[in-house]
Amino acid sequence: MADLADLHELTALEQGDLIRRGELSPVELTEHYLARAEQLPADFVDGAFAHRDPEAARRRAFEVAAVGPVGDGVSPLAGVPTAIKDLNLTAGVPTRFGSPVFADHVPSVSDAITLAIEASGLVSLGKTSTPEFGSPCYTEPEGRPPAVTPWDTTRMAGGSSGGAAAGVAAGLVPVAHGSDGGGSIRIPAACCGLVGLKPTRGRISGFPLYGDPVGLSTSGSIARTVADAAALLDVLAGRRAGDPSWAPEPSSTFLEATRREPGRLRIACFEEPVIAEVDLHPEVRRAYDDTARLLGSLGHAVEGVPMPLPREAVGVFETCWAVLTALSTTNLDVDQREQLRPLTRWLGERGEAVSGPEFGLAIGQLRRHAAEALVALAPYDVVLTPTLATLPLPVGALRDDADPLADFEAQKRFTPFTSLWNVTGMPAISLPLHQSADGLPIGVMLAARPAQEATLLALSAQVEQALPWKDRRPPLW
């Protein structure tokens, strides 16, 4: 067994295994992580967590320890600490959606994510930081420190699951939930040197709000290893009776998929940015090229293909994105709107200007564009692209309160690949395969056919075994 002082060095699954064997208790593990949060710089911790409640975490750990492992179906993550994004309803716990408008909001119900985490015996240490309503690809909420990458604390952790990624990357929790409507899991994973898994559309329930009528957003996993990400997906996945759509049940657990060979796959690849015209950073291009060669060396057939989404789809996506922002802001009064960030206000007003028929037409057009991309990629098992166009940027490099349009366009140039897979609904994962010359993480992205997370995870595990990253540690570690 690892020394108690080094428990955060273990993967989430290794920690869960010690608990199952009775060599470690959830209480000891929770105390370790609570103490670690006191050891790291306060601004970093406050940038990662929107809300921490050590006493509630201790109570939860005692409850889990009292029950103990029950049956063969218990999650291998039972007793392991985690955290829940500040966008997700958690009964009795402040849930502010990253906005001062909801500074005093404490929900009376929990959503499917919180319920699944609790039912699986994980111990939540609090709520991870997110930007206002999860909209930007950076995490700089009003009145709080920004979420930064522990590889260079002057640089952003990405967003909108930036707090979760910062926390996992710095060893504040071993694994965490995130959500992703345009890249919000994979972007911070790339910035923080982590695995970020966005599952297929319908894999995870949106109960009880079902707030995304377009179908862009889903929850998923942020972890240090592919196996940990798969184990958390096993916790989160599953449909509820009222879900409007759902993915087919897998034949086995997602964790088991990481333990099998993927076979010889046909892999498409492209490096043309999807939603913005931008030149790739040379080190990002090198990481992409190196990954394509690695996949070929593993026996897969790697083939370049044209970018499968037409440029006119970008404007349609933006219309839908603006309307989704408007759904969060349209019922606010004048005083509340004054508290919104300029970007949120601008996007919300843009969305409110879209008529009902225009929105319906945009959803239909986006689905047709998605269908065209799915047909074009159907011959391939997996698709490879970069995750981001450049390295993690300095805090504040994208944010422009004086010009929200410039802010929005800068975000597109930073993240020109990720939203494609939200449009198609395909599962996608960012892997921390590479580092820049000065030690910054560089992610590469793989996507698979709809509902084929098992293939995606099997390939990702094979790549991880060929070029391991688990033992890399950021300077803050």
Is the residue at 242 inside a domain? yes
Model pLDDT, residue 24: 96
| CATH code where residue 384 lies | 3.90.1300.10
Helices and strands per DSSP (H, E), number in the chain? 17, 11
Number of domains within the chain: 1
The reply to whether 51 falls in a domain is: yes
| pLDDT for 5 | 76
> Does residue 473 sit within a domain?
no
Mean model confidence pLDDT for the chain: 97
Q: What pLDDT is stored for residue 116 in this prediction?
A: 97
Whether 44 maps to a domain, the answer reads yes
Q: Nearest-CA neighbor of 422 among 447, 459, 458, 389?
A: 447
- pTM of structure: 0.98
| Residue 175 burial class via C-beta count within 10 angstroms: exposed 0-12, middle 13-18, buried 19 and up | buried
Q: In terms of DSSP bridges, do strands 218-223 and 175-180 run parallel, antiparallel, or are they unpaired?
A: antiparallel
* Residues designated catalytic: 85, 160, 184
What distance in Å separates the CA atoms of residue 452 and residue 262, rounded to the nearest whole number? 12
Q: Which two tokens stand for residue 132?
A: 């206002």
Q: Indicate whether 245 belongs to any domain.
A: yes
Exposed/middle/buried for residue 470 (C-beta within 10 Å: 0-12, 13-18, 19+): middle
pLDDT given for residue 70 in this prediction: 56
Domain that holds residue 462: 4-466
- The predicted pLDDT at position 425 comes to 98
What confidence score (pLDDT) does residue 2 get? 55
* pLDDT score at 26: 97
The answer to whether 179 and 161 are in contact (CB under 8 A) is yes
Give the pLDDT confidence of 225-264 residue by residue, as tens digits: 999 999 999 999 999 999 998 999 999 999 999 999 999 9
Q: Please indicate, yes or no, if residue 476 is contained in any of the structural domains.
A: no
The ranges of the chain with pLDDT < 50 are: 1
Does 474 fall in a domain? no
pLDDT recorded at residue 4: 76
DSSP state of 171: T
For 137, the token pair is 């690809």
Answer yes or no: are the C-beta atoms of 191 and 156 closer than 8 Å.
yes
Over residues 39-84, the pLDDT tens digits come to 999 999 999 999 999 999 999 999 999 987 655 568 999 999 999 9
Residue 304 domain flag = yes
d(CA 82, CA 57): 10
